């Protein structure tokens, strides 16, 4: 594929060769108009995308959907809202090309006057401080996880700092919580967020208060009122509309049940230690038959190619069938989705659920939330697969798509609502979704759903007057990682006697992923990446980078190197994101450059490699990222570039993850880890990874089976009969 391939979903635009940038794409293959400006920023290129071309004319403020670097002769358009906001700000064209990330985000420049315009890190190595404030790192949310740091300052519970506040550094939040950036970004009217979230800072309308609306223009106020009254879709006359309607998924049986094969290590799951804590856990089941599911469900399970339960399914299914609340932690790719879907569907079938009919407001029995649009869509497809042939109707709604489309989907009937938080709250506020009948509430990637990015929405969701209280609903939380502080918070959502299932170590990496850590500095990363990709050939590879801009940059760079690549991140339109995933899944673009938006949950067949071009800021995010490969018993490889300058804080947790997953640990990494201030390897791993249930009641009692307080199992090894 060449850069000219109009079907490519990779974004391309000019780069300066100096300072480590890859140089301008071949001009003959680009529609480039020379407009070198005082920034030295150079060419303005248009990229013949399917539905649009990226082009900025002189002085024009780029639409948010446009690549932020896509040029502007003003020399100030790098971070688009900054351009409008403060035209005199110091993001002056003193920088050379993209030499210093700091220079692109004028917020940074103004916030830290000492650093402005000083190309401290030449070349592309400045990714972490690249661009607009919210651009800097997409995975930064995890760094500030735990309801501390900055998030609290914007706390949704408006209690002030340190609280349960959303992070402004968080891509997922950005996608789903467009309203938070409403006043700034909205003015430029980018189509990434929900239409109604843009332009006037309504904050989605689900925040109860309207401080931001009042702080905005009178027009904002008016829109808010009309929106509240339901008289119009807010934002209808603001900026470009979000018109994207995701194509309906194929509905032939073959497509619905399409699946990939379990790998050679699938049976090895049985040797993983499983721990259940909490009072009176029901015994695990060993086979699907033991779950006593109805015939239709069993048929669907067989058609999906499932013949044997994974450990998380063996434990979670009976727990959910017994009506218990559950927090479950199991490795990436080990079947957590079916672990909650199957028993919920079984309950619904047993309860004789009535087919829901067309209604203005639907009252689903089950709500499933997940942090990203692609993930929630995937969960929906799983729900649709297992509910096939029943009268249960799953529906999916998520941001970046036309609101009316979501409403239409819901109104046609909805028993299981799969939603991203922002869109869900929007639909509740619009009274399209009623909560009265909710019996099951599932938080997938629960640690993420409860952290400072989404925690406020989740709290709001469960505090809705119409939401049945926790003792009247079943709340289920699943993830591969569960930091202690999140576990404590989760307790607020769960009944006190909830059960906690841990397969292996909380936060442990899947041992089917062969992990390598290479010491590579910023300036050598691209070369190293090319070497790796060329040696890999056409095997499907996900390359994770720190920022949205860098994702596009690296994707473009790889395209230039004639490696068919696409990219996914929060600044791409939803249509493009889905197209990128399709191209990656189909193998049309075997390389997907992604930010952390693609780190969790995505289940893509045949991803053989993950490359951490930039390591994430937390070990949990690392575990999720590398878990895009090595799924369901298949083996995969993960290569991570470790930059001594930026990644040293990860040495210790990496060492633990590697050794726990029986991976080779480089000597240099050990040395760094041991020399780190405060390094203490006598601390049990749980101090970082919370391998135990943090509930005080159970602490120190692991392995106590008597009285059903705790069970400690090694499936297979402890109980061979499971095979
Ligand atoms: N019992 C089973 N038999 C065969 N395949 C299964 C079984 N359970 C799940 N799978 C398949 O394994 C793959 C991974 O499952 P799933 O996406 O639910 O993993 P996960 O644990 O949620 O991963 P992550 O932590 O990355 O979200 C899916 O393709 C799913 O269909």
Q: Which two structure tokens, joined as six digits, stand for 4? A: 């000219």
662: containing domain: 513-675
**Distance (Å) from CA 317 to ligand 1 centroid:** 14
| Residue 10 lies inside a defined structural domain of this protein | no
Both 276 and 327 in one domain: the answer is yes
335 Cβ below 6 A of ligand 1: yes
Query: Tokens 């290590």 map to which residue?
Result: 265
Phi, psi values for residue 498, rounded to 5°: -65, 160
* Helix-strand-coil split of the chain, %, nearest 5: 40, 10, 50
Distance (angstroms) between ligand 1 centre and the Cα of 334 equals 5
Q: Which atom of ligand 1 is least distant from the CA of 445?
A: 27
- Residue 534 within any structural domain of the chain: yes
3-class secondary-structure state, position 716: coil
Instruction: Report the separation in Å between the CA atom of 336 and the middle of ligand 1, taken as the mean of its atom positions.
Output: 6
Name the residue with the closest Cα to ligand 1, atom 15.
Answer: 335
Tally the C-alpha atoms within 13 A of residue 637's C-alpha that lie toward its C-beta: 11
Q: Which burial class, exposed, middle or buried, applies to 499 when counting CB atoms under 10 A from its CB (0-12, 13-18, 19+)? A: buried
If you ran DSSP here, which 8-state letter would residue 453 be given? T
Only one residue has tokens 């309607």, namely 245
Question: What separation in Å is there between the alpha carbon of 324 and the centre of ligand 1?
Answer: 22
Question: 482 CB contacts (<8 Å, ≥6 apart)?
Answer: 327, 329, 446, 447, 490, 506, 507, 690
What crossing angle do the helices spanning 403-411 and 421-429 adopt, rounded to 10°?
70
pLDDT at 239: 54
Looking at the fold, whether 309 and 455 belong to one and the same domain comes out as: yes
Tell which of 473, 503, 533 closes a domain. Answer: 503
Q: Are 319 and 326 in contact (CB under 8 A)?
A: yes
Of the three residues 476, 503, 530, the one that is the final residue of a domain is 503
**Residue 466 and residue 528 in one domain:** no
Is 539 part of any domain?
Answer: yes
pLDDT at 588: 97
How many Cβ atoms sit within 10 Å of the Cβ of residue 497? 11
Same domain, 646 and 566: yes
Q: What is the Cα–Cα distance from 143 to 114, expressed in whole angstroms?
A: 24
Supply the ipTM of this predicted assembly: 0.99
* Inter-residue contact 544 to 596 (CB < 8 Å): yes
Collapsing DSSP to helix, strand or coil, 208 comes out as coil
Q: Whose CA is nearest to atom 25 of ligand 1?
A: 332
Cβ–ligand 1 contact at 371 (below 6 Å): no
Secondary structure of 603-662 in HEC code, one letter for each residue: CCCCEEEEEECCCCCCHHHHHHHHCCCCCCCCCEEEEEEECHHHHHHHHHHHHHHHHHCC
pLDDT given for residue 619 in this prediction = 97
How far, in Å, from the CA of 311 to the mean position of ligand 1?
A: 11
Query: How high is the pLDDT of residue 611?
Result: 98
Pocket test for ligand 1, best of 289, 337, 449 (most atoms within 8 A of CB): 337
- What's the pLDDT tens digit per position in 180-189? 333 233 322 2
pLDDT of the residue at 675? 87
Atom in ligand 1 nearest the alpha carbon of residue 382: 31
Residues 390 and 472 in one domain: yes
625 and 480, same structural domain? no
Question: For strand 540-544 and strand 607-612, is the pairing parallel, antiparallel, or unpaired?
Answer: parallel
Q: What is the DSSP string of 105-162?
A: -HHHHHH-TTTTT---S-GGGGGGG-SSGGGS-SSHHHHTTTT-GGGGGG-TT-S-TT
Tell me how far apart the alpha carbons of residues 263 and 136 are, in angstroms, rounded to a whole number: 37
Low-confidence ranges of the chain (pLDDT < 50): 1-237, 682-691, 697-723
707 in any annotated domain? no
Element spanning 544, H or E: strand 540-544
Taken in order 142, 148, 151, 156, is the CA torsion positive or negative?
A: positive
Q: Is 34 exposed, middle or buried (0-12, 13-18, 19+ CB in 10 A)?
A: exposed
Give pTM, 2 decimals. Answer: 0.71
Distance CA(279)–CA(277), nearest Å, equals 7
Residues 490 and 365 in one domain: yes
CA distance 340 to 338: 5
Whether residues 481 and 416 share a domain: the answer is yes
Which of 451, 477, 503 is the last residue in one of the domains?
A: 503
Count of CB atoms situated within 10 Å of the CB of 472 = 10
Residues 345 and 427 in one domain: yes
Residues 6+ apart with CB under 8 A from 26: 3, 560
SS3 sequence of 255-322 = HHCCCCCCCCCHHHHHHCEEEEECCCCCCCCCCCHHHCCCHHHHHHHHHCCCCCCCHHHHHHHHHHHC
- Domain count for the chain: 2
Rounded to the nearest 5 degrees, what angle is found at the Cα of 377, between the Cα atoms of 371 and 379? 80
Q: Is ligand 1 within 6 A of the CB of residue 603?
A: yes
Q: Is residue 379 within 6 Å of ligand 1 at its C-beta?
A: no
Inside any domain, residue 128: no
Residue 9 lies in a domain: no
> Do 444 and 545 belong together in one domain?
no
Whats the size of the chain, residue-wise?
Answer: 723
Q: Is the CB of 593 under 6 A from ligand 1?
A: no
DSSP lists the bridge partners of residue 328 as: 478, 501
Task: Report if residue 596 sits inside a domain.
Answer: yes
User: How high is the pLDDT of residue 518?
Assistant: 98
* Residue 480 CA, closest ligand 1 atom number: 25
Asked whether 636 lines ligand 1 (CB < 6 A), one says: no
Q: Are residues 630 and 538 in the same domain?
A: yes
591 forms beta bridges with 541, 565
Name beta bridge partners: 254: none
The two tokens of residue 673 are 């880890």
Is residue 479 in some structural domain? yes
Same-domain pairing of 399 and 547: no
SS3 label, residue 50: coil
> For the domain that residue 488 is a member of, what is the CATH number?
3.40.50.300
Any ligand 1 atom below 6 A from CB of 198: no
Q: How far is CA 303 from CA 257, 296, 339, in A?
A: 6, 10, 17
């Amino acid at each position: 594929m060449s850069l000219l391939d109009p079907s490519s979903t990779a974004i391309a635009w000019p780069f300066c060769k100096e300072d480590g940038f890859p140089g301008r794409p071949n001009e003959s293959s680009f529609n480039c108009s020379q407009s070198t400006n005082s920034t030295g920023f150079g060419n303005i290129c248009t990229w013949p995308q399917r539905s649009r071309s990226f082009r900025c004319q002189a002085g024009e403020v780029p639409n948010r959907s446009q690549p932020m670097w896509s040029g502007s002769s003003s020399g100030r358009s790098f971070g688009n809202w900054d351009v409008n906001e403060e035209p005199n700000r110091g993001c002056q064209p003193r920088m050379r090309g993209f030499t210093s990330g700091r220079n692109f985000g004028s917020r940074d420049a103004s916030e830290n006057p000492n650093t402005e315009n000083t190309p401290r890190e030449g070349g592309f190595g400045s990714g972490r401080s690249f661009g607009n404030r919210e651009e800097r790192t997409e995975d930064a949310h995890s760094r500030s996880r735990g309801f501390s740091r900055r998030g609290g300052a914007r706390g949704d519970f408006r209690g002030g700092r340190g609280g349960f506040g959303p992070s402004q550094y968080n891509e997922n939040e950005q996608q789903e919580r467009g309203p938070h950036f409403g006043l700034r970004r909205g003015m430029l009217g980018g189509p990434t967020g929900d239409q109604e979230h843009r332009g006037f800072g309504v904050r989605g309308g689900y925040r109860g208060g309207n401080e931001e609306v009042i702080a905005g223009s009178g027009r904002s106020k008016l829109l808010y009122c009309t929106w509240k009254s339901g008289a119009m879709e807010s934002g209808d006359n603001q900026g470009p509309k979000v018109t994207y309607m995701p194509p309906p998924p194929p509905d032939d049986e073959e497509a619905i049940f399409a699946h990939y094969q379990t790998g050679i290590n699938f049976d090895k799951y049985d040797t993983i230690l499983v721990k259940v804590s909490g009072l009176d856990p029901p015994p695990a089941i060993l086979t699907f038959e033991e779950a006593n599911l109805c015939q239709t469900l069993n048929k669907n399970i067989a058609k999906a190619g499932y013949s044997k339960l994974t450990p998380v399914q063996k434990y979670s299914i009976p727990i959910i069938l017994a009506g218990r609340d559950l927090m479950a932690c199991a490795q990436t790719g080990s079947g957590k989705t079916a672990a909650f879907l199957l028993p919920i569907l079984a309950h619904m079938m047993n309860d004789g659920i009535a087919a829901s009919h067309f209604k203005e407001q639907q009252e689903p029995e089950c709500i499933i939330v997940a942090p990203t649009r692609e993930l929630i869509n995937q969960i929906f497809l799983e729900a649709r697969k297992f509910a096939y042939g029943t009268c249960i109707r799953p529906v999916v709604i998520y941001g970046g798509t036309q609101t009316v489309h979501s409403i239409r989907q819901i109104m046609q009937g909805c028993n299981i609502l799969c939603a991203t938080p922002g869109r869900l709250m929007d639909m509740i506020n619009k009274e399209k979704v009623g909560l009265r009948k909710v019996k099951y509430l599932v938080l997938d990637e629960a640690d993420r759903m409860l952290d400072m990015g989404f925690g406020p929405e989740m709290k709001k969701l469960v505090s809705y007057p119409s939401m049945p209280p926790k003792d009247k609903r079943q709340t289920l939380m699943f993830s591969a990682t569960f930091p202690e502080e999140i576990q404590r918070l989760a307790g607020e959502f769960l009944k006190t006697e909830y059960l906690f299932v841990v397969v292996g170590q909380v936060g442990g990496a899947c041992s089917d992923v062969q992990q390598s850590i290479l010491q590579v500095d910023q300036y050598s990363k691209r070369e190293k990446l090319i070497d790796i990709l060329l040696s890999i050939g056409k095997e499907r590879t996900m390359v994770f980078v720190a920022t949205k801009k860098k994702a596009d940059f690296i994707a473009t760079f790889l395209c230039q190197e004639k490696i068919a690549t696409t990219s996914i991140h929060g600044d791409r339109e939803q249509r493009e994101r889905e197209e990128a995933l399709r191209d990656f899944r189909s193998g049309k673009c075997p390389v997907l450059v992604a930010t952390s938006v693609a780190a969790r949950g995505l289940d893509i067949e045949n991803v053989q490699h993950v490359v951490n071009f930039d390591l994430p800021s937390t070990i949990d995010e690392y575990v999720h990222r590398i878990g895009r490969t090595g799924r369901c018993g298949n083996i995969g490889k993960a290569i991570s570039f470790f930059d001594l300058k930026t990644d040293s804080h990860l040495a210790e947790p990496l060492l633990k993850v590697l050794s726990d997953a029986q991976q080779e640990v480089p000597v240099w990494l050990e040395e760094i880890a041991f020399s780190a201030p405060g390094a203490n390897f006598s601390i049990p791993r749980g101090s970082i990874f919370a391998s135990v249930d943090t509930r005080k009641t159970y602490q120190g009692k692991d392995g106590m089976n008597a009285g059903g307080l705790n069970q400690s199992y090694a499936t297979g090894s402890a109980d061979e009969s499971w095979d």
